[in-house]
Amino acid sequence: MSVAGTNYARDDGVTGISSDILRAVCERAQVQCQQILRFPWQRVYQQTLDDADYGLFSTARTAEREGLFKWVGPIASNEWVLFSKGDSSIQLNSLDDARRYRIGGYKGDAKTQFLLDRGLEVQTALRDSENVKKLERGQIDLWMTSNQAGRFVARQKGLEDLRVVQKLQNALDSLRAEGALRSIEARY
């Protein structure tokens, strides 16, 4: 999003479900919050780590990030998916099947890191909207994103014909079976 040629938006210019929820929370808590949407994500993430006067929303709460922030949430659920173009013939039975395809992700994003941690190659973009263009042009075969936000970003860029190829259900099921999710679930 840009305002008057800049690479950020402020307060009323920041829109969406997470920003609306945050406004309601700040109002109820009687805390003055200024919302600023900036890019690239990695810079904003680092600024939040470096400066105690900054907060970050929305970001995935992962085991690696747990000790880095004081958390409030969750404010939304986030279903991670791999999208392909609607006319794609790609079929995945497991996350491992995705290894043979070109995958696009968002630099510094937990979903992208999830794939990298499992040894998958991911082409990273500074803005997730760049992956929509790459998918349309055939520069990537799969786009790692969240279901709701990904569809929203794609619609904004004029791409409506998407297909969910893999919902990472196998990965979720295996993490749950290993007990790796118990500590996360216990916090909520």
Strands 162-166 and 80-85, how do they pair? antiparallel
Low-confidence ranges of the chain (pLDDT < 70): 1-8, 165-174, 176, 181, 183-188
Is residue 119 classed exposed, middle or buried when 0-12, 13-18 and 19+ CB atoms within 10 A define those classes?
A: exposed
> Is the previous residue joined to 74 through a cis bond, with omega within 30 degrees of 0?
yes
Q: What is the pTM of this model?
A: 0.65
Under a CB-based contact definition with an 8 Å cutoff, are residues 140 and 159 in contact? no
Contacts of 27 (CB under 8 A, 6+ apart): none
Residue 74 lies in a domain: no
Domain CATH for 94: 3.40.190.10
Task: Tell me which amino acid residue 46 is.
Answer: Q
Structure confidence at residue 120 (pLDDT): 95
pLDDT for 66-75, tens place per residue?
999 988 888 7
Residue 75 lies in a domain: no
Strands 8-10 and 36-38, how do they pair? antiparallel
Residue 186 lies in a domain: no
Residue 159 lies in a domain: yes
Rounded to the nearest 5 degrees, what angle is found at the Cα of 131, between the Cα atoms of 127 and 137?
140
Structure confidence at residue 44 (pLDDT): 86
Q: Do both 172 and 84 map to the same domain?
A: yes
Structural domain including 39 reads: 8-68
Structure confidence at residue 133 (pLDDT): 94
Q: Do both 85 and 136 map to the same domain?
A: yes
